[in-house]
Structure 1
Amino acid sequence: MSKVVLITGGSSGIGKAIGEFLFDKGFTVYGTSRNPEKITNSVFPLIALDVRNAESIKQAVEKVISISKRIDVVINNAGVGITGPIEETPTDEMRNNFETNFFGPIEVIKAVLPQMREQKSGLIINITSIAGYMGLPYRGIYSASKGALEIVSEAISMEVKGFGINITNVAPGDFATKIASGRYHAPLIIGSAYEIPYGNTLSQMDEHVESGSNPDEMAMAIYQIINEKNPKLHYKIGAFMQKFSIILKRILPDRIYESVLMNHYKL
């Protein structure tokens, strides 16, 4: 019997690549999108789901269970980017980012746990970010939301392991997706104290995404994790230097590491 996989944000980018890869491997895949009726090229079914709406999540999970009678793997992939100086980023936009990147995945987890407990098995994979391991300039809210998901997942893992359920986090680096076009950008204000450094960093961030790794690398990694008997709690997927930056943070004094980041972003 093929495993049943639910992927939030499965209509494009990393989520779509993962879904197509697993579908080709014989998994029963359900993706989600806020507007699935607008997607005409998906090889696997898409279900309406907005991670900011608990009722929407409940209905989507119930639909999968009604069709397939189980959910074996949940991949919390839906997320949004946000950039800007903290001082000039509207607080409502910060809250919206956390609603999508942090509270959304938690609501999905809460919705699927009863079914997984009944099955006495399940795997929940949270797609976080290497950016969640460090506070990056002009990406502080994004870093915070992804870092928060990493930490809370450590707690949930201990709470549900006795039910036969595994929690794992997969932190990607820069991948060639449309996240740059979909993220919220705080306006670049002419004459602002941040105009030049923010503008330069924004251009650099977009270049990193455009030259990022192929999303198929993430799909292969997810496939391997699903097939592991005892998956690890944390995985990092991406270019060597992006993963190495996490190691540097562990071993360098704080201010030296801060200087390394500032030099990287030419601040």
Structure 2
Amino acid sequence: MTIGIILKFKESNREGIILIPDRTYTYQGIIGVESDVSKVENIYTDNCNVVYGIGSGSGPLITAYFNFLRARISADFERIIDHLVDSYNDVIVQKIKNYVLGPLGILYDPVNVENYTNNPTIFNMINARVNEVWNNLDILVGTIKNNKISIHNINSSVGADLTTQGFGVIGTGSNSALWTLIHLGYSPNSDMKTVLTLGLFAKFQSEESHGVGEATDVIVVYSDKGKFVSKVVDENTLTKIREKHKELINLQREKVKEAVNLVDL
């Protein structure tokens, strides 16, 4: 129950990413509560590279994923694309160790995995834990590596490169956000202010979906003269853009009424 959006923007002298999540956290899979804690994760930063992420699903699974990813990236940043999926599978392995094999006194041995899969009871327990993670862990990661932007979605142990389309959406509000960005003509070649506005319109529209909260965070990240800049969009700006989104919705409804009056049957 959430919305998470990462978008790419491009200007004459810089490229960057914009991260837009709500602040609704899900408990026990059914209870959504708005918090004052941001969902934007600053995963890694050095002089030439920065990695940010947003998670959707189970809070503990999201926390575990980003902890695994931080450790892997810190040890070997160059293999970051591999780490995105490997960290997802780390969460699954942790679940299997702690909740399937551990209670049975069995040591995890990936080389001889048939020792588990040949036992129907253990196999079903493992399968249940895999599905638990697949159904409750959806990740967006935005990376600036040597001034090159990439956006990836990791779900069900599969990584999808969304860099060409320039944006990714996750959570229960993802369909509404996706439709809005496409309908309003989002382009990864648009400037920062345009992308920020469209991203917020998408977020506000997604609030029609179950479990998406009104509280909104917006982080803009880009490189300027060799240094990374991270800016938080203030509440006053969010309020003004929300009002413009309401005006857009009202205008659409007015146009529908005008079109209805043109029907002569």
TM bin, normalised by shorter chain, reads 0.3 to 0.5
More strand by percentage: 2
TM-score, length basis structure 1: 0.33
TM-score, length basis structure 2: 0.33
More helix by percentage: 1
From the CA coordinates, give the structure whose radius of gyration is larger: 2
Q: Structure with the greater relative contact order (CA < 8 A, sep ≥ 6): 1 or 2?
A: 2
